[in-house]
Structure formats: structure tokens, C-alpha cells
Chains A and B, each alone.
Chain A
Amino acid sequence: MNRRMRSLHRTMGAIVAIFVLILSVTGILLNHTSDFDLDKRHLTSDWLLDHYGLTNTKADAVYLLDRHTISQFGSQVFIDANPVTQSHVPILGGIIIDDLMVLATEDALLLFSPEGEFIERMGESVGVPAMIQNIGLFHGDPVVQTRNGMWRSDFMLDQWEQLSLDGVGWSEPHLMPSSVQDELSQYFRGNGITVERVILDIHNGRILGKYGVWFADLLGAFLVLISLTGLWLWLRRRL
């Protein structure tokens, strides 16, 4: 039993040693992110950007409002090539009322000035209907289609009445204009990936994608096992 445990302990040790080293080094580096400016340094090599999917800067959603291009990449919302705010849910459309640009997500309206400055996020707590599916205009009034029906408001956007309308001009997705696409590509490629992100992803295994997380879990299990076998051997020796 003792020999088998020792053999298991050694085998585990050999397997996890290299990964323990990687974990230790990356863990130490992450503890000193600010000291080494790891969150300010960027990596821009092609294969790494490809790995992170940054070469192909394809927007998740694009809408044209007046002369502005609204786009969303992940949680980042852009007006033209300027990052303006974050939305963790998809942009579903946009309209212009008076001087406001209004973007709709499923649970809120995001308001912007004509210059693209973020004004406010209006959600259910201020009367905006929930479960929005699209936004449009009906004779200049904002209208949202939700799972519970159609709602209309005025430029204040805080009082909504439920009704049914024909002829609403719904917001529709567009293709990204090539000039804005070029600017956005420059934006992404210019910044690249922070060293901190890469080290963190190596540390937690996400550099290998979804399998990396499972791999890190497996490694964690190995570490627990090697600790237990080590403790067992130590106790056996003392007894």
C-alpha cells in the first residue's frame, strides 16, 4: 500500500510539476500587474490576435442612425469608431428622436447625445417596457415591440402606453460601412491584447478555450490528490 501510494504520488508529481511552475510564475506576475504595467502593455502578433478572434473585427450588430454608425462588438458599443458604453446584452435597434439617439436592448434603452456622448441607461425601473424585441418610430413617436405587445411613448421615454399600430418604421440592421470598418480594425489592432489578459488566460487555462478550463480543473484535482497522497505518506512515516 505504502509503495503504491508513493508511486502514485511520484507519478502525480511528475505530471503536475510543469503546470505548477506555469501556475506559480503566472500567479506571481498577476500579483504584480500594476508594478510591471502588464495591463498597459499590449501584444499585437498576428497569431495571438487570430487566436483571440481580433483579426476578424466583425460586429455583432450594426445600425445606421442619421450619419452615425452604431455597432456592438461583444459588450462594447461603438458610435462610428468611438467606444461609448458597454452593454452586456445585444443592441436590437436604434432610433433618433429630437436630439437623442436611442438604442434598444432587451431590458433597457441607451440614450446618447447627437455628439455620441452617453446620457443614460433607462430600464424597467423608470417605466421602460421589459423584453424588448425591436424599436421603431411611428409619426415621430418612439415605439417598442416587446414579447408582451407594442408600446408607444414620447420623447421623455418614461411613460408608455400599450397599443397596436400599423406602419411603424422599425429599426433594421445594416452592413458596416467600409470606412468605419477600417477605422474599427485600426482601433482593435492598435490596442491588441494586454499582457495581463494573456497571462491570466494561461493561468486559468482559458488560453486553450473551453477545454482549457476543464484542463485547469483536472490539474486542480491532481494537486488535491498529490497533497493527500503526500500527507498520507508523511503520516505513515511518522507512525
Chain B
Amino acid sequence: MGQYRYTLRVLVLISLILSSVTVFARGVYQTNQDFLSDTFNDAVPKSKVVWLKGDLASTVTAILGHNYAGLRIRYWRNEQRSVWILEEIGKEKPITFGIVVAAGKIESIKVLAFRESRGGEIRHPAFTQQFKQATLNNMKLDRHIDGVSGATLSVRAMTDVARLALYLDKFTG
């Protein structure tokens, strides 16, 4: 009987320790400049801006579910690709995403800076590879994105900016 009580005690303590652990995943993983240099092999084209006005502002609001944090969005485009550096709030703080769009499809998506205390798992390639070759279909991605446990809001943020980048690529292309 005694050993079961000890087993129970140990299990309770282990679960308490685990439940009190907060996963910190904050950090700048790549600067915007390095991301652009990598993407364009150091031949970064001159940036352009798209102003979020009128119908475009309404569409962007519909995609994100709220206004974009800024009246204009800057992007970089050469013959093959457009690159978007977008910020979207996960739970409380903005996450910076770098998105490369080629031929109307996501070529890559990357978390450049993550400021939340939870949900940083979305930066891993094992998760981001789901977005490769995704296109926009009726304002939604053409595929289901598997979530990450405990990172629902971060996953939603990444899905929203992927949709936004695809839409803006088409709008400006």
C-alpha cells in the first residue's frame, strides 16, 4: 500500500513540475535584411509599397479578421518571386513572418521574429513545409494546415499571413 502512495506522490509531483513549465521561445531568428539577401541571393530588388485603401483595405481586413497594423505594406519583387515581410499578432505580440511567393504559390514561409511566450513551435520547418506550394482558393488556402498543440493562435496567424501574401501578390502582380 505504501509504495502505491509513494508512486502516486511522485507522479503528482512530476505532473506539477511539468504543468508549471512555461515554454519560452522568444527571439529574432533572422533579420529582415538577411532574409531578403538569402531569398534574392544578395541581389535584393528595390522595395515597393502597397497602400491599404478602399476595397483592398476591406479585403485585407476580411482576410485577417481585423485591420492590418499599418496603412501600407512593403514588398520586394523580381521576375520570379515576390517577398512579403508581414507582422501579425499571435496572442498578444506581433510575430514577424517572411513569405516568398512564386507563380501564385507559397515558395516558403518563415518566422523571422517571435515575441510571444508560447507557440514558437510554428517556426520549425516540420510545420512550415505544410505551406509549400499552397495557393489561394476562394480566399482560403487550398489545403488543410495541421495545427500545433498549444500554438493555435500562432498557427492561425501564420495561416492568415500566408493568405494575405498570396492575395497581395496577385493584387500587385
Q: Which residues of A contact B (CB under 8 A)?
A: 20, 23-24, 27, 85-86, 88, 113, 117-127, 158, 203-204, 220, 223-224, 226-227, 230-231, 233-234, 237-238
Number of interface residues of B (CB under 8 A): 32
CB pair B85–A118 under 8 Å, yes or no, is no
CB distance from A56 to the nearest CB of B (A): 24
Interface flag for B56 (CB, 8 Å): no
From A24, A158, A230, B6 is in contact (CB under 8 Å) with A230
CB pair B16–A231 under 8 Å, yes or no, is no
CB pair A23–B6 under 8 Å, yes or no, is no
Contacts of B13 in A (CB 8 A): 20, 223, 226-227, 230
Q: Chain A residue with minimal CB distance to B15?
A: A24
Q: List 16 A-B contacts (CB under 8 A).
A: A20-B13, A23-B20, A24-B16, A24-B19, A27-B20, A113-B71, A118-B71, A127-B47, A158-B46, A158-B47, A220-B17, A220-B20, A227-B10, A230-B6, A234-B6, A237-B2
* Number of A-B residue pairs having CB atoms within 8 Å of each other in the complex: 75
CB pair A230–B10 under 8 Å, yes or no, is yes
A183 to B93, CA, bound (A): 25
A206 to B69, CA, bound (A): 30
CB pair A125–B36 under 8 Å, yes or no, is yes
CB distance from A38 to the nearest CB of B (A): 13
CB pair A120–B71 under 8 Å, yes or no, is yes
Interface positions of B from 1 to 38, Cβ below 8 Å from A: 2-3, 6-7, 9-10, 13-14, 16-17, 19-20, 22, 31-33, 35-36
CB pair B16–A120 under 8 Å, yes or no, is no
A164 to B128, CA, bound (A): 46
From B10, B44, B72, A119 is in contact (CB under 8 Å) with B72
CB pair B70–A120 under 8 Å, yes or no, is yes
Contacts of A117 in B (CB 8 A): 71
Interface flag for B94 (CB, 8 Å): yes
Interface flag for B126 (CB, 8 Å): no
CB pair B33–A124 under 8 Å, yes or no, is yes
Contacts of B70 in A (CB 8 A): 118-121
From A88, A120, A121, A234, B3 is in contact (CB under 8 Å) with A234
Name 19 extra pairs, CB < 8 A, besides A123-B33, A204-B22: A20-B16, A23-B19, A85-B69, A86-B94, A120-B71, A121-B70, A125-B31, A125-B35, A125-B36, A125-B44, A126-B74, A127-B47, A203-B20, A224-B17, A230-B6, A230-B9, A230-B13, A234-B6, A237-B3
